[in-house]
């Protein structure tokens, strides 16, 4: 003998559908986008502040670079002889260092015909 039980449900297809969000659902739906937006605004604020506080910004002021004269190296010239002949109020040893830095010299070897820039007052 078998017994069958029928369960009758009354589902009305015309009834409206309502969505109930849990606390976790509200956090996911509202909180995460709000946190992403806040992080983006903070990043933009840091970028703008960094740009305003940057000391290496372009300027319209005139460039006050080193005044230099071109000297062509002759046979037998040395950095010492070129620095001593230069019309500069700088110590010869300091002037040799400046000439080397200005021209990117790695050694004191000079070639005849080489053009050097020598700081001048």
Q: Name the average pLDDT for the chain.
A: 82
Q: Is pLDDT of 54 > 90?
A: no
User: Which is more confidently placed, 72 or 1?
Assistant: 72
pLDDT for the residue numbered 92 = 87
User: Which is more confidently placed, 58 or 30?
Assistant: 30
Query: 120 in helix, strand or coil?
Result: coil
Which own/partner pairs from 88-95 qualify as long-range (CB within 8 Å, at least 24 positions apart)?
A: 88/118, 88/119, 88/120, 88/121, 89/121, 90/119, 95/119
pLDDT digits (tens, 9 = 90+) for 59-106: 666 666 778 889 999 999 999 999 888 877 778 899 899 889 989 888
DSSP of 48-93: HHHHHH-S-----SPP----EEEEEPPTT--HHHHHHHS--SS-HH
pLDDT for the residue numbered 6 = 61
Owner of token pair 């062509």? 72
């Amino acid at each position: 003998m078998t017994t069958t039980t029928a369960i009758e449900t009354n589902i009305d297809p015309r009834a409206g559908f309502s969505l109930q969000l849990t606390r976790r659902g509200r956090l996911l739906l509202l909180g995460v986008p709000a946190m992403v937006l806040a992080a983006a605004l903070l990043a933009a604020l840091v970028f703008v502040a960094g740009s305003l506080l940057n000391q290496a910004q372009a300027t319209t002021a005139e460039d006050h670079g080193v005044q230099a004269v071109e000297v062509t190296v002759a046979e037998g010239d040395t950095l010492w002889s070129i620095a001593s002949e230069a019309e500069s109020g700088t110590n010869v040893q300091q002037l040799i260092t400046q000439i080397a830095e200005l021209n990117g010299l790695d050694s004191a070897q000079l070639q005849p015909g080489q053009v050097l820039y020598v700081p001048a007052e």
